[in-house]
Amino acid sequence: MLLEHHGKELLRSAGIAVPGHGVASAIAAVGPLVDRFGPRVAVKALVPVGGRGKAGGVVVVDGVEAAEAAAQRLLGAMLGSHRVDQVLIEEAIPIAQELYISVTIDPGSGRPVLLESDQGGIDVESMTDDLTTTVLDVQNRPTPPAPALGQSESESGPAPTSITTRREVANAVISAFFQYEATLIEINPLVVAADGRLVALDAKVQLDESARHRRSVPDHWVDGESGTEREQLAAELGLRLIELGGDVAILANGAGLTMATVDAVANAGGRPANFLEIGGDAYTKAIPALELVLSLPGVRSLLVNFCGAFARCDVMTAGVLDAWDALQPTIPVYFSISGTGSDKARQMVRDRLGIEPLPSMQEAVSHAVGSAGLGRRS
């Protein structure tokens, strides 16, 4: 995924309004940017992952001091598996309404689709009721060459734009999607500002790896992006996968718990097969997530570790059990489930798989490690 300011430069070149902003990698750079774009600014962790808002990676503050304090807190911190090396200092936009718009490849049909919703700002997974899907016609689509990007420096004022309606924004996103050979362009939120303008407050852009050689974006925008084929596929599905080469597959909710689970497997003498960040969207992403981890070569057991707080264990577990039904894996699976909705979740595991969830994370870990070890010897 492109960093936000690169994604926004792409949107801007497509004629879509974005807030004025600049990049700071040190506190000293914050003040001048607040002077230019503030006093009210959004300070945003510049890392290529979603859900920064929820993770505390986006704060709207007033004035230089508050912006410096926010930058101080973010710089050097970890967000998911990324260290924050830069923050975006961006003109804060007074919001009247948050909308959602994206163009992506539908995983089922392989066709490009336009997704739109009146409820932006939140996870797309929780707005499914409200989501309009339009399959895009790829035939006879004129694709004028994409304007080359990366010409301007890292600081840019608000761009003049002639785009004033949602339809025009949608058309611009669709054109950019084809011109830049993207696999995802998501604006969440696209806001109706207090003054009525439509402004893209966020930009998540994923470019097609296989079109790398004919790209019109600078190489450094996408350097370090390429992972294994599975990791790239995961990224396109909104999942962050890192292959670790071991034999214990891990499904946990949230980056923190997932990292702790990976460590626990290693500490128990096991070999973790993966890190997979499914965030709070465990339910809707359970099937592709399970499919991905089971497709890892050498996987011999699966450890499911859910700890419910805002995310409910019963909802996440239902997702995994549905995925299990759909995929019918044959490897042993061990559950550790605690927190919100765990009683119901544990009962679902008993009812649907006929197995008993383990009473603690430690026990689930040691069973998963032990059974992978048995598989290794046999």
Binding site for Mn ion (CB under 5 A): 188, 202
Residues 98, 200: Cα–Cα separation, whole Å: 10
Q: Nearer to Mn ion by C-beta: 183 or 188?
A: 188
Q: By CB under 6 A, what part of segment 192-231 binds ligand GDP?
A: 201-202
Burial of 85: CB neighbours in 10 Å, binned 0-12, 13-18, 19+? exposed
Choices 28-36, 47-55, 134-142, 340-348; region in contact with ligand GDP by CB under 6 A: 47-55
Q: Strands 78-79 and 95-105, how do they pair?
A: unpaired
Q: How many residues bind ligand GDP (CB under 6 A)?
A: 19
Q: Which does 99 bind (CB under 5 to 8 A by kind): ligand GDP, Mn ion, none?
A: none
Q: What are phi and psi of 51, to 5 degrees?
A: 70, 20
35: how many CB neighbours lie within 10 A of its CB? 10
Which string of DSSP letters, residue by residue, matches 120-166? -SS-GGGGGGG-EEEEPP-TT---PPPPP---S-S-BPPPP----SH
Q: What are phi and psi of 376, to 5 degrees?
A: -65, -40
Q: Which does 149 bind (CB under 5 to 8 A by kind): Mn ion, ligand GDP, none?
A: none
As measured in angstroms, the least distance from the Cβ of 311 to ligand GDP is 16
Residues 358, 35: Cα–Cα separation, whole Å: 56
As measured in angstroms, the least distance from the Cβ of 116 to ligand GDP is 16
Q: Nearer to Mn ion by C-beta: 278 or 365?
A: 278
Q: Which does 19 bind (CB under 5 to 8 A by kind): Mn ion, ligand GDP, none?
A: ligand GDP
- The two structure tokens encoding residue 82: 């990324």
Q: Residue with structure tokens 């959602």?
A: 100
Q: Nearer to ligand GDP by C-beta: 30 or 349?
A: 30
Q: By CB under 6 A, what part of segment 49-78 binds ligand GDP?
A: 50-53, 58, 60
| Residue 1 near residue 47 (C-beta atoms within 8 A) | no
Instruction: Check whether the bond before 142 is cis (ω within 30° of 0).
Output: no
Q: Which does 312 bind (CB under 5 to 8 A by kind): ligand GDP, Mn ion, none?
A: none
Q: Which does 93 bind (CB under 5 to 8 A by kind): Mn ion, ligand GDP, none?
A: ligand GDP
Residues 200, 188: Cα–Cα separation, whole Å: 8
Under rule CB under 6 A, residue 20 binds ligand GDP: no
Under rule CB under 6 A, residue 95 binds ligand GDP: yes
Q: Which does 51 bind (CB under 5 to 8 A by kind): Mn ion, ligand GDP, none?
A: ligand GDP
Residues 330, 349: Cα–Cα separation, whole Å: 16
* Binding residue (CB under 6 A) for ligand GDP from 9, 68, 90, 247: 90
* Binding residue (CB under 6 A) for ligand GDP from 14, 24, 42, 184: 42
User: Which residues bind to ligand GDP, rule: CB under 6 A?
Assistant: 19, 42, 44, 50-53, 58, 60, 90, 92-93, 95, 98, 121, 188-189, 201-202
